[in-house]
Amino acid sequence: MTLVIRMRSQLLFLAFLVCCICPLHAQQTAQHPRPPASSTHCDDQSHALDSGVYVYSALDQIWPPDFPVSGGITIAVLVNVKSGSKLFLHTDGSTFELWMGTAQVPKNNVWTFLRDVADSCRLPRDPGEAVRLLNVRWEVKAVQQAQFQHLHGEFLTSLAEYASTVRERSDYFMATGLMGFPVDASKFEVIYDNSRQHFKIDEWDLPIDGHTSPIIKWVHELQGVAEEKFHASARMNK
């Protein structure tokens, strides 16, 4: 009998604690509500696109599936930042090829497509994973060894001249205080890799004093080759 009374007393005490703690917990939750996880995640995804860093990072990681980032000699050019079109001049030492990759997205606009993905909370945190969403279509054409050597040599020549262009742009800014980027200027990204050296150049198609950057001249030459081989003038930013 004594045991039963003790058990009843313990149960009444536990019930009393529950009645006291539950309202207190509810009050604390009301005072400090947790933000909805889905809403916060969507906002984070949307903010990731505002600066453009996310999209450019994803475009940088578009790479042909049949050869590594560092293997042989590769010159990669982002020729259309809106449609995500890229050209790759590549050799592994025995074959010489020109690749073209183009994102297959609605309205041929990578930026609005990824914005829609972010708005629906489906944007990956890693831009590299977003590449799979772009459904890149690949085309490849063989080029003659002599043509590859010509294009590669011209690129190295333009690279040597590039330093003077950097000085011209710096002098222009120092003299005028203007960056000189018109709204309709096209931006090109060029990545060079020869398995030992790897670097990237961001250049605008913006003549200074009537002189076009040697890198831009070379990009236009490569675009001309691509247009001839792929009949892809609509996808080029020329």
Phi, psi of 18, deg, nearest 5: -60, -45
Three-state DSSP state, 141: strand
Sorted by where each starts, the structural domains of the chain and their CATH numbers stand as 70-105+135-235 (3.30.1560)
pTM of the model: 0.75
State the distance between the two ends of the chain, measured CA to CA, in whole angstroms: 96
Tell me the C-alpha distance between 207 and 221, whole Å: 16
What Å distances lie between residue 160 and 30, 77, 146, 151, CA to CA? 65, 18, 21, 14
* pLDDT tens, per residue, the chain with 238 residues: 443 334 444 434 434 443 444 444 444 433 434 334 444 456 666 677 887 889 999 999 999 987 777 789 999 999 998 999 999 999 999 999 999 999 999 999 999 999 999 888 889 989 999 999 999 999 999 999 999 999 999 999 999 888 877 777 788 778 887 765 555 668 899 999 998 999 999 988 877 667 788 999 999 999 999 999 998 654 555 4
In eight-state DSSP terms, residue 36 is P
Pair of tokens at residue 103: 């994102």
